[in-house]
Amino acid sequence: MKVLISGYYGFGNVGDDSVLQAIVEGLRDYEPKINITALSNSPKLTKELHGVEAVHRFSWARIVSKMIRADVFMSGGGTLLQNITSKRSFLYYIGLIWLAKLLRKRTVVFAQGFGPLQGKFYRALARFTLNRVDLITLRDQDSFDQIRKLGVKKPKVYLSGDPSAILKIPRVEEGRKILSLEAIRTDRPLVGVAVRNIPKKEEEKLYRALSETIDWLCKAYHYEPVFVLFHCPEDMAETSKVINHMQSKSNVIFRMCRPAEMLSLISTFDLLLGMRLHSLIFAAMNSVPMLGISYDPKVEAFMRSVGQPYLRVDDHIDFSKIKNEVESILKDKKRIRTELDEKMKELHDQAALNFRLFTNQFRSRRRVKKTLIKQ
């Protein structure tokens, strides 16, 4: 079977790279001889990281050529079908689905988040398109509800989970090695911090509140702060804004980590303050107590799914609110770790469901076709 995959790949984003890595590993577990090609912003890097063929995401002649040869087109992972960050991005991803349908390819929207999607034209286009794909799996309840509300009825829609949860967690020693190479002291508890860009009107208050919280953790509980860059180097600009408000010494992991390295690194933390979705997913996978700072409904959806606290990025967030949430977490760390341990199997099973559904939908049809040819 030949599969062509689109997504936000090849941009140096650890979260999206972990999604592609999980998709590749999951598909190969079910079908070892599967042929996978990914559309990427950096084909050479994607090929090196994931061991798949890769085509530049805007090389249309090659995309059409690969699409013609593919058995299945997968719009895979991430939150691709939304127009809050970019209307052009939505049209790109929905356009790829239409190209697949025009070429009479079987199509799957795989383990995605959905929305927010604003505007009658965009919602109508999404409804018309999604009612014509073969399979839809969604990674969170909010996305599932939004798809139903949109009026998608023809393909069966399944609630699954983020594919990253099937990844094997490396030994904690690998993370400690990274800390050692970065000269970060480990004789204190570590608080990991993962920030990202948000609207300018909100960033000053939030970053100041985060810096005050980290300073308080350092003084009151002797934490050592470690900033991790999930989108390197882009996240460094936002990290610097937080550090500039801080009085305490901080550490930044400057290296571009692969998903396995970041998973192991986060396993060394005693607490995580995360704005990046996959920083929180990785913390949950490692049973690390966490506080989500939500800039997007997908963060809230995930934190609710694992029963952990979060605060929305808005005008009301301040030091006292973050401090109160963190204090509650610190008082109950043992229970939280136990709860996350129990959630891990559920996260893994939800992620694995994507691959079982894919195999049932597409491999069975291929076998029927072969049988008919033999007859």
DSSP 213-253: HHHHHHHHH--EEEEE-SBTTHHHHHHHHHHHH-SS--EEE
All structural domains of the chain with their residue ranges: 2-166+348-374, 172-344
pLDDT score recorded for residue 374: 41
pLDDT score recorded for residue 369: 46
Q: Mind giving me the DSSP string for 116-147? A: ---SHHHHHHHHHHHTTSSEEEESSHHHHHHH
Give the tens place of pLDDT for each residue, 31-56: 889 999 999 999 999 999 999 999 99
pLDDT score recorded for residue 315: 66
pLDDT score recorded for residue 116: 87
pLDDT score recorded for residue 357: 95
Distance CA 319, CA 113 (A): 30
Q: Which is it for strands 190-194 and 271-274: parallel, antiparallel or unpaired?
A: parallel
Q: Which is it for strands 157-159 and 135-138: parallel, antiparallel or unpaired?
A: parallel
Would you say 13 and 230 are in contact if contact means Cβ atoms under 8 Å apart? yes
Would you say 57 and 80 are in contact if contact means Cβ atoms under 8 Å apart? no
CATH number, domain 2-166+348-374, options 3.30.365.10, 3.40.50.2000, 3.40.50.880, 3.40.190.150: 3.40.50.2000
Distance CA 310, CA 324 (A): 12
Residue that has been written with the tokens 């996305």 in this structure: 143
Q: Which residues of the chain are modeled with pLDDT < 50?
A: 364-375
Q: What is the DSSP letter of 82?
A: -
pLDDT score recorded for residue 363: 74
Q: Which is it for strands 35-40 and 2-6: parallel, antiparallel or unpaired?
A: parallel
CATH number of 172-344: 3.40.50.2000
Q: Which two tokens stand for residue 337?
A: 């770790």
